[in-house]
């Protein structure tokens, strides 16, 4: 059965927060609101901070237009809006923009857009003529709407931070994933990057996993969402191979990589990713039996019907909650990942 777990790596931070929590709760400048994209995650973050989500009305008119109204005074407050821009991306992005605008017009002192999953992140550069750099366009829209700060998790491309002319806090889901993997006490682990572009991410993951060895899949992409796996660089024979990526979309790349690892003699194959996009036919590919376990986080909600026996879902709520608290208290965020 699938599991939903928190991370013990945040426990020490939790104790720190609990010792100072009264000052946070008494500070009525802090407000937390959630869009409709991932309300359960927002509720967990609110519980971690010892507060409730702010009241908000969200309606959709017959023609599809959205209506947002903040139902309490936020004048002079520091507002945090939790909204991953996951499927349906355009609807959730527009909802976030309207929430930001509503808070700006309600005279919020500072508006932070908390975006656990940043949609359009893969459109971060031009790979052919006459293309849009949509990741930059989205950054412009969020900024123009009135956001003063961005808090996002595991961007597909780190350079997206530079698309914003406002403060940007980039946090990582790796502490939660690493904590879970270490608890399994796997032997002879090799960390595998599913493509050359993810080598830096896999190398950092391997270093924190007791300096595990690294392997790389040489992938040749024929078209969007279609990948052909060609070669394996590294030794995986009789090892527990851990494929690490920032997201799993259609699972074409990672499932083909897993088949290659099995062919090359890997004893077990695990998939680790922060964002479970799971576009069709991802579920069929991931549940085919090639993976020992598919480990993701809850930055994107997964419907009950889309869960399968090999799936393990970990919560990043404590991590996001701790980051929000540190931003609000002007404390260091980067020290959480050292």
> Which amino acids are annotated catalytic?
219
Question: Phi-psi category of 265—alpha, beta or left, where left has phi over 0 and alpha has psi -120 to 50?
Answer: left
The strand ranges marked E within 35-77 are: 56-60, 66-70
* Degrees to nearest 5, angle at CA 194 with 212 and 120: 120
- In the 8-state DSSP scheme, what is residue 249? S
Find tokens 């929590």 and name the residue.
Answer: 21
Query: From CA 186, how far away is CA 184, in angstroms rounded?
Result: 6
Report the first-to-last Cα separation within the chain, whole angstroms. Answer: 33
> What is each CA distance from 239 to 205, 215, 236, 255, in whole angstroms?
17, 11, 5, 18
Question: Phi-psi category of 183—alpha, beta or left, where left has phi over 0 and alpha has psi -120 to 50?
Answer: alpha
Phi, psi of 22 (to 5 degrees): -55, -40
Looking only at Cα atoms, what is the longest distance across the chain? 61
Are 134 and 161 spatial neighbours (Cβ–Cβ below 8 Å)?
no
Tell me how long the chain is. Answer: 338
- In the 8-state DSSP scheme, what is residue 69? E
């Amino acid at each position: 059965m699938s599991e939903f777990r928190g991370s013990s790596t945040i426990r020490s931070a939790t104790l720190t927060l609990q010792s100072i929590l009264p000052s946070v709760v008494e500070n009525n400048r802090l407000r937390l609101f959630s869009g409709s994209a991932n309300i359960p995650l927002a509720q967990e973050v609110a519980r971690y901070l010892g507060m409730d989500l702010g009241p908000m009305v969200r309606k959709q008119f017959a023609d599809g237009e959205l209506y947002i109204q903040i139902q309490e005074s936020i004048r002079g407050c520091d507002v945090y809006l939790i909204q991953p821009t996951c499927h349906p991306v355009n609807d959730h992005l527009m909802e976030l923009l309207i929430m930001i605008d509503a808070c700006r017009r309600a005279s919020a002192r500072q508006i932070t857009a908390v975006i656990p999953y940043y949609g359009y992140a893969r459109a971060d550069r031009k790979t052919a003529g006459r293309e849009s750099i949509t990741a930059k366009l989205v950054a412009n829209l969020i900024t123009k709407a009135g956001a003063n700060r961005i808090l996002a998790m595991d961007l597909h491309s780190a350079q997206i931070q530079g698309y914003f002319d406002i403060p940007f806090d980039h946090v990582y889901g790796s502490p939660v994933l690493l904590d879970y993997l270490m608890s399994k006490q796997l032997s002879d682990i090799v960390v595998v990057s599913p493509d050359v572009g993810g080598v830096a991410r896999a190398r950092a993951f391997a270093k924190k996993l007791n300096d595990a060895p690294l392997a790389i899949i040489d992938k040749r992409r024929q078209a969007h969402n279609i990948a052909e796996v060609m070669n394996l660089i590294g030794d995986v024979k009789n090892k527990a191979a851990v494929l690490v990526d920032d997201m799993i979309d259609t699972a074409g790349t990672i499932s083909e990589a897993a088949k290659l690892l099995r062919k090359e003699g890997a004893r077990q194959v695990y998939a680790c990713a922060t964002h479970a996009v799971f576009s069709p036919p991802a579920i069929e590919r991931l549940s085919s039996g090639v993976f020992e376990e598919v480990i993701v986080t809850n930055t994107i909600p997964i419907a009950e019907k889309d869960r399968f026996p090999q799936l393990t879902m970990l919560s990043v709520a404590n991590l996001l909650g701790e980051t929000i608290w540190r931003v609000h208290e002007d404390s260091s965020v980067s020290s959480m990942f050292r």
